[in-house]
């Protein structure tokens, strides 16, 4: 019986509420403590009980800690000070103490431990301390560029900046977080950035358009942005518009750099695949698609142009494809065909037949009477029949 009563007494002691008097007593002990390790033990007790109405204590404790931090050199005391900073940052954010924002930034900017710095930035984001939003953006931008000698050190700081910007939910933080999502970081950082993006901005299309059109970004960065657009949850009409923008940009820039030219070719091919899937945003895509055929870097790009026009199947697409076929007919009549010409005519004729638009008939009839081998002539006859059946 005595053991049972003792057990109940112990349980009562453990779950007994932490009164205001208890909190005041612990705060006095904290303020009188001579070392950071002593302070940490007392602060952990206070934190575990989580009494209400002591926000000002947390703010004052952080201010005192920040002022003393630069003079702490003994490793055990420094570790205890860092642990205090993390506890205080969380409670200050929980209490909504925006008055402590400047001290939180001093922790984020001046302390050494990357986890502590991250916790301070996250607290700033939770507090919506917008004065420090540009500072957090700068931190993430700096680490996006390259990592420090200690890769994990940089990743931990970047992670905190990403979470902070998620809490800020300000559009100005979107691009830094996006570049973190496709940057050099390990997957645990990149995946956190991917998760944060839709919480910062529901519609990513303005930011992707900015990347696609800005001369500050390399062709590789533009290609990666377009790949992300293609795999995103954006509405199809947004994807179509961004594909048209990317296609235009890929022709706008002139460069002698072979690698850049090849990347722009990849952008054009992906743009055409997206236009085939999502449609033409407007009529501006048609001259761009025609150029992908007439100025293509290789046969694959020409094939993509023909296939994209065929998938659109509009009067304008038929007009352009018929123009390509007419040019090939003229070359056939004078015997100037290349191997690529012979390949492309076998692609264009069935494309026109599949659309089933009667506007293609003049070019197809011209093919039948031009100097083509029988297999091409037969393709033209078949296309004419398909068009007749469709009409």
Q: What is the pLDDT of residues 325-343, one digit of tens each?
A: 999 999 999 989 999 999 9
The per-residue pLDDT for range 151-174, each reduced to its tens digit, is: 999 999 999 999 999 999 999 999
What pLDDT is recorded for position 138? Answer: 97
Cβ neighbours, 10 Å, residue 378: 13
Mean of pLDDT values over 169-183: 97
The pLDDT of residue 266: 97
For residue 96, name the pLDDT band (cuts at 50, 70, 90).
Answer: very high
Q: Which domain holds residue 217?
A: 203-283
Together in a domain, 171 and 246: no
Nearest Cα neighbor of 139 from 167, 97, 110 is 110
Q: What count of other Cβ atoms lies within 10 Å of the Cβ of residue 78?
A: 16
Q: CA-CA distance, 362 to 357, in Å (whole number)?
A: 11
Angle (CA) 115-116-120 rounded to 5° is: 115
Span 286-304, average pLDDT: 96
193 and 212 belong to one structural domain: no
> What pLDDT does 13 receive?
38
Shared domain check, 196 and 84: yes
> Is the distance from CB of 262 to CB of 301 less than 8 angstroms?
no
219 in a domain, yes or no? yes
- Does 234 fall in a domain? yes
pLDDT digits (tens, 9 = 90+) for 249-287: 999 988 899 999 999 999 999 999 999 999 999 999 999
Indicate if 97 and 122 belong to the same structural domain: yes
Tell me, yes or no, whether 181 and 242 share the same domain: no
Total tally of structural domains belonging to the chain: 3
Per the CB < 8 A criterion, the answer to whether 280 and 244 are in contact is yes
Pair 335, 227 in one domain:
no
In angstroms, how far is CA 74 from the centroid of its own chain? 42
- Does residue 227 share a domain with residue 173? no
Do both 257 and 369 map to the same domain?
no
* % of the chain exceeding 70 in pLDDT: 94
Q: Do 180 and 259 belong together in one domain?
A: no
Q: What is the pTM of this model?
A: 0.86
Residue 50 in this model has a pLDDT that exceeds 90:
no
- Residue 147: predicted pLDDT: 72
Instruction: Tell me if 125 is assigned to some domain.
Output: yes
Average pLDDT, the chain: 92
Which of 201, 225, 247 represents a domain boundary (last residue)? 201
Structure tokens at 113: 């431990």
Residue 217 inside a domain? The answer is yes
Residue 166 sits in the same domain as residue 222: no
281 neighbors 244 (Cβ within 8 angstroms) = yes
58-74 confidence digits (pLDDT tens): 999 999 999 999 899 89
Q: What is the pLDDT of residue 2?
A: 42
CA geometry: angle 157, 161, 167, nearest 5 deg: 150
The Cα 247–Cα 265 span in angstroms is 9
Q: Is residue 333 part of a domain?
A: yes
Task: Determine contact, residues 36/84, Cβ cutoff 8 Å.
Answer: yes
**Final residue of a domain: which of 201, 232, 249?**
201
Cα–Cα dist 220/263, whole Å: 6
Kindly state whether residue 304 falls inside one of the protein's structural domains. Answer: no
How many Cβ atoms are within 10 Å of 176's Cβ, its own excluded?
25
Predicted confidence at residue 20, as pLDDT, reads: 62
Residue 5 pLDDT class (50, 70, 90 cuts): very low
């Amino acid at each position: 019986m005595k053991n049972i009563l003792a057990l109940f007494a112990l349980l009562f002691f453990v779950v007994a509420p932490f009164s205001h008097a208890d909190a005041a007593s612990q705060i006095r002990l904290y303020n009188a403590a001579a070392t950071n390790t002593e302070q940490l033990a007392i602060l952990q007790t206070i934190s575990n009980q989580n009494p209400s109405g002591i926000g000002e204590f947390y703010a004052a404790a952080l201010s005192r800690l920040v002022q003393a931090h630069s003079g702490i050199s003994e490793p055990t005391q420094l570790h205890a000070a860092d642990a205090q900073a993390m506890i205080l940052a969380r409670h200050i954010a929980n209490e909504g103490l925006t008055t402590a924002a400047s001290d939180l930034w001093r922790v984020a900017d001046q302390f050494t431990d990357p986890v502590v710095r991250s916790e301070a930035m996250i607290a700033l984001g939770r507090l919506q301390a917008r004065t420090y939003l540009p500072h957090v953006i700068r931190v993430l931008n700096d680490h996006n560029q390259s990592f420090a000698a200690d890769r994990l050190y940089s990743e931990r700081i970047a992670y905190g900046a990403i979470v902070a910007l998620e809490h800020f939910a300000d559009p100005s933080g979107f691009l830094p977080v996006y570049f973190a999502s496709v940057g050099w970081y390990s997957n645990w950082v990149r995946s956190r950035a991917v998760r944060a993006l839709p919480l910062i901005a529901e519609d990513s299309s303005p930011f992707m358009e900015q990347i696609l059109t800005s001369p500050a970004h390399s062709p590789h960065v533009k290609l990666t942005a377009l790949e992300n657009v293609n795999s995103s949850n954006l509405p199809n009409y947004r994807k179509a518009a961004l594909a048209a923008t990317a296609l235009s940009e890929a022709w706008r820039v002139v460069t002698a750099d072979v690698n850049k030219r090849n990347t722009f070719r990849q952008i054009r091919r992906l743009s055409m695949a997206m236009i085939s899937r999502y449609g033409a945003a407007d009529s501006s895509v048609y001259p761009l698609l025609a150029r992908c055929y007439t100025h293509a870097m290789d046969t694959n790009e020409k094939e993509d142009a023909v296939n994209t026009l065929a998938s659109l199947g509009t009067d304008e697409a038929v007009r352009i494809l018929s123009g390509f076929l007419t040019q090939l007919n003229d070359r056939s009549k004078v015997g100037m065909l290349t191997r690529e010409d012979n390949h492309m005519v076998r692609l264009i004729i069935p494309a026109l037949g599949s659309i089933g638009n009667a506007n293609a008939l003049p070019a197809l009839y011209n093919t039948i009477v031009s100097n083509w081998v029988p297999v091409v002539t037969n393709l033209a006859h078949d296309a004419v029949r398909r068009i007749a059946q469709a009409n």
